[in-house]
Each structure stands twice: as C-alpha cells, then as structure tokens.
Structure 1
Amino acid sequence: MGHYLSIDIGGTYIKYALIDERHRLYHHQKTKTPENIDQAILKQIDTIVEAVADKHNIDGIGISTAGIVDREKGEIIYAGPTIKDYKDTAFKRELTEKYKLPVHVENDVNAALLGEIWKGAARNQNNVFCITLGTGIGGAYYDHQLMDGSHHQANSVGYLLYEPETRTNYEGRASTAALNKLIAKELGEEISAIAVFERAKNGDETCSSIIQSWTKEVAKGLSQIILLTDPKCILIGGGVSAQGDYLLEQIQNQLELFLPDNFLKTELKIAELFNDAALYGAVYPFFDVAVV
C-alpha cells in the first residue's frame, strides 16, 4: 500500500495532504482558490500535483470538490455560481494522462460523509445523512453506498423549501450566510456569529432569539430529510458545527415542530473530522477497507 495525495477544493481555499498506509494524514497545505478563468483551478491542481510528486512517491490522487461530480468520468457536470465556469472540468482525464496515476474525483459533501463513516463520528454506521451548513448547504446520503440518484443530483438539499413570497430556498434561509445576514440586520455587521453564539449561551435574549430563529429554519430542512429518507443518523458539518452540543440542542428543540408526534427517532450528531473529513473521503476508494 502506497501513499496518496488528497486534495479538497473549496470556494475559498484548496487544502491538500498526503495519506500513508496507516491512514495517517500528513504534510497538510493550503492555497487560495483562484478565480476560475481559463481553467485556473485545474491548472492550480496540476501545479500542486507536480510539486508534491517531485518530492514524494504517490500512487494515486483523490480530489474532493464543490459541484456535482460524475465520479466515473471524474469531471464536474454541474456547478452553481460559487465557482465560475466550473462545469466540464475534467480532472481525471487531464491528470491521469499527464501523471499516469489513478485519479478519483468526488463531490465535497459526499467525500466528507465517506470520511466520517470511515474515520469519524459515523464510524462503521449505515443509513447516514450528512448536511454541511456553510455559505451554502450541501447534502449526502450513504446507505451501503453513496446514493446519488439517476442524474447524480440527489441530496441537493440547499434547493429545498423554495418560498415564492421571499424568493428564497432552504440555503437562503438556513446557511451560515443567512445567519450572518440576520445578525447584521439585528446587531450590525461588526458582530460575528461566534460572538452571537457565545452571548446566547450566556443568556443574552436578543442573541438567543437570533439563534432560535435561524435554527428553526435549519430544523425545517432536516425534517424533510427525515421524512424522505428516515436516516439512522444525521451528521451536521460546516464551520458552525464547532458550536457542538449547544447547536444540536437548539436544532433538536425546533425539529419536532415539523414532524408528527413521536416520529423523531433519527440521531443528530456533530461531524468530528472538520477539515480532514473530505481529505479522508477523497482517497477512501484507494484503500481496501469495508466501511459497512
């Protein structure tokens, strides 16, 4: 078993690391994600691979990325506005041809879920849904395998619950970007979400009201996921998951409002691996391990 290069492409940063035969991540690095003009992201990935391969023997490349991925082709088949002109970026073809190495490409939330099932909060569990709360909202579902849908578009939960009156969808009301807008409206733009959570924990009524209002929107979407998939567990990831048990308690208190009486059996858990989850998940297919 050799060493593999794992790369996680986000809207702000590209993070990467090597993983060894004992499944240990090392040599963590990150660089700013370039504006994607003239395939700048693909070129940046090529630069990273070339630099790492020059110093280390690697046996494969795993890529976690925003956007909808055709994992067989290893390319982006749909991307929202976060990354410009990203559709049709053919990572697998380009990198395999140049480096003669196997390349695996996976959606970032799918990769994070695989990482958490392999090494994190849902270790060796089945029937797990993962939701990431960030600038947008992403979803992934694992039931003996990743469940993609016929067109690789399943679990696009950020588009749920569209309201014609406000012209907003689920991520427009329940993402951390939406939370920041709510905070700016109530308290001003200089107050951070972290500060609002701390004040709410210490009994500040205005901050508590903001958190309750936002977690109610989060709970609305989670209720739809529960009704449709009945997962054993829902993992909550994204930067806001650092709020841990307090965040879970706030969501749990709101969740039963949107479900029938005595219906809630799904366990809510905080993702454990944070930035490493997608790095583990991106290279998971290279390791001969049975998760469940």
Structure 2
Amino acid sequence: MAKYVFGVDIGGTTVKIGLFSVEGKLLDKWEITTRTDEGGKYILGDIAESVANKINEKNIDKSDVAGIGMGVPGPVKDDGTVIKCVNLGWGIFNVAEELGKLTGLPVKAGNDANMAALGEMWQGGGKGHDNIVMVTLGTGVGGGIIINGKMISGVNGAGGEIGHMTIDTEETECCNCGKKGCLEQYASATGIVRMAKIALNKSDRPSKLRDVQYISAKEIFDQAKTGDELAMELVDELGDKLGIALAQVSCVVDPEVFVIGGGVSKAGDILIDAVKKAYQKYAFHACRSTAFELATLGNDAGMYGGAYLATK
C-alpha cells in the first residue's frame, strides 16, 4: 500500500512542492523557480526533476508513491487539461498527462483555488466537513467549491470563479477581466483600496487614512479596528458585497462552511463579523446558519489540496 504523495502548487514566481504521508502529514516542503520563459515549457520538467531528486534523497521506493496532485493558476478541466494559463505562458494541453509521462507517476490536476479548498477541507479550516466553499481574498478574489469531498470544476474549469460574479450593475470602472461590477472590484485587497480612494476623493471627511502615503488593505482594517469611521464603513461595504455574493452561492451549493483565506483574511474577526452579518441579511432562510471559518494552512493550502487529490 502506498505511503507517500506529492502536492504541487504552481505559482507565477515559484512552484511549491510538498511530500506528504497519505494520511495528510506534511513531511517536507520546498520551492523551485517557475520558469515562465519560452511559453513555460520548462515548468513541468523542472517539477519532475525536483520530485525525482526528493525520491532519491529520501530513499523512497517509487512503488510507495501514490501519485502527484497539482494546482494550476487557471481553468483546468476534470481530465487535467488546462484552458490557457496566461501567467505561465501555457496554452491548451493536458498537464496531468504530460507530468505523468515525465515522472512515471499518476498525476491529477486542478485549479489552484480549488486545490486550496481541498487542502482546507482535508487538514485546515474546513476539516471535518465535506461540503465547503473557500474564498481567497488577495490581489483578486478566488473561490473553490467542494461538494461531497469533490471539486466542482465545471465544463470549462471555471467553477468557483466567484470573484467575477457581477455584484453592482451600476459600476463604471472595469475589472481586470474586462467586465464591470465584479466582486473582485470590492472584496479583494486592491478592491477595498480602490473604494477607499474613491471615498476620500468624494468628500473631505476626517480619517486617519488621509495621513497614509500608501493605503493598503491592512491599513484600512487596522484603522477600522481603532474606530476610524470611514475605514469602518469601507470594511462594512466589503462585507456587504461579499455577503451578497456568498448568499447567492449558498442558494446553489448550500455548503456547511465558508472558509475565508488569502492575505485580507489576516484581518481576522473584524472581517468575518462584517461578512457574516451581511450574509445573514441576504441569505435564504434555510442557509442562514452556514458557518464561517478562517483558513489555517496559509500558503501551504494548495500543496495540501494536491496531496489530497493524489490519494483519490
């Protein structure tokens, strides 16, 4: 019976790789550079080489490795086919099949946000639940949907892309995706900063945010915690927009728990309280008791999710 699995999380700058026991214990982790030059053609070869080196270093019999699970920053179909990964330079091809050929191991692949959700379900903030929605609040807004322990990828690998739900049909500025009024424009780190700049320009209301040279999401939450009225309103607006979005999500998948991760989640309870308050206002009555938890695995969540997928 296999003893080990590898979890791989491909980012635009580095690839995080973890060696796990099949029970979910992280035994070792390391990073390699993501070589995106020449259309990212070296990435999978570098991963294969790194995995092979670790197998040799640890004197692991290859037959004891169940496989590799890999998270990719872009849409991934259930069969492991990526539908263009702009940040990596990849077009459309089957990454699971290709890495399998290079390593001689079974490989499964999925979107990186879905992998993070799997990881949090397995060993993180969603542990003990088989039905979770993970929301990642960083530069953008990512999402991962897990139902009965399985990722919901969708036909085009875009399942869980909640950051591009239209929340405000009156919005005049464009999201990076080209649409207007996306959740990402309000609930991401860049989104709340955008809202802060708009609010500061619209009025001369007093706020400590006016004394900050470079406004960040952290600064906004820090000032809100001190009672700064404008900062508190900005946090409430983020909570309202995200609460509306998650209320709609709950009508479709009705999860046991929402797990909130990403850099913005470091704000902690003030964020969770704002989102939960809005969610309960907008949610269908049968879904109002859905739990909210902070993610606990940090940047390792994608590796954990990959490892989990490789055990299935």
Q: Shorter-chain TM-score category?
A: 0.7 to 0.9
Q: Which residue number corresponds to residue 195 of structure 2?
A: 182
Contact 2:6 2:306 in 1 (8 A): no
Contact 2:75 2:82 in 1 (8 A): yes
Q: Which residue number corresponds to residue 2 of structure 1?
A: 3
The answer to whether structure 1 residue 122 and structure 2 residue 126 are counterparts is: yes
Q: Which residue number corresponds to residue 77 of structure 1?
A: 83
The answer to whether structure 1 residue 138 and structure 2 residue 162 are counterparts is: no
Secondary structure of the structure 2 residue equivalent to 1:68: coil
In structure 2, distance between residues paired with 1:7 and 1:260: 37
Q: Which residue number corresponds to residue 45 of structure 1?
A: 47
Q: Deviations over 1:103-145 (max 9, x none)?
A: 1212112212221221122223133222212222222222213
Give the deviation of 1:181 after TM superposition: 2.7
The answer to whether structure 1 residue 148 and structure 2 residue 148 are counterparts is: no
In structure 2, distance between residues paired with 1:287 and 1:84: 26
Name the aligned partner's letter for residue 184 of structure 2: E
Give the deviation of 1:224 after TM superposition: 1.3
| Higher Cα Rg, which structure | 2
Q: Number of residues paired by the alignment? A: 285
Query: For the aligned residues, what is the CA RMSD?
Result: 2.7
Higher alpha-carbon deviation: 12-21 or 241-250: 12-21
Give the deviation of 1:88 after TM superposition: 1.8
Name the aligned partner's letter for residue 12 of structure 2: G
| 189 and 251 in structure 1: CA distance in 2 versus 1, 3 angstrom threshold | farther
Q: Percentage identity across aligned positions? A: 28
The answer to whether structure 1 residue 252 and structure 2 residue 276 are counterparts is: yes
In structure 2, distance between residues paired with 1:5 and 1:207: 43
Secondary structure of the structure 1 residue equivalent to 2:232: helix
| Moved segments of 4+, more than 6 Å | none
Q: Which residue number corresponds to residue 202 of structure 1?
A: 226
Secondary structure of the structure 2 residue equivalent to 1:106: strand
| 108 and 50 in structure 1: CA distance in 2 versus 1, 3 angstrom threshold | same
Contact 1:18 1:27 in 2 (8 A): yes
User: Which runs of no fewer than 5 residues in structure 2 stay unpaired?
Assistant: 173-179, 201-208
In structure 1, distance between residues paired with 2:45 and 2:170: 40
Give the deviation of 1:37 after TM superposition: 3.6
In structure 2, distance between residues paired with 1:169 and 1:99: 40
In structure 2, distance between residues paired with 1:35 and 1:96: 20
Secondary structure of the structure 2 residue equivalent to 1:269: strand
Equivalent residues in 2 for 1:192-231, closer than 5 Å: 192-231=216-255
Contact 1:183 1:193 in 2 (8 A): no
Higher alpha-carbon deviation: 86-95 or 213-222: 86-95
In structure 1, distance between residues paired with 2:53 and 2:215: 40
| 23 and 4 in structure 1: CA distance in 2 versus 1, 3 angstrom threshold | same
The answer to whether structure 1 residue 100 and structure 2 residue 104 are counterparts is: yes
Name the aligned partner's letter for residue 188 of structure 2: S
User: Which runs of no fewer than 5 residues in structure 1 stay unpaired?
Assistant: none
In structure 2, distance between residues paired with 1:44 and 1:98: 10
The answer to whether structure 1 residue 269 and structure 2 residue 293 are counterparts is: yes
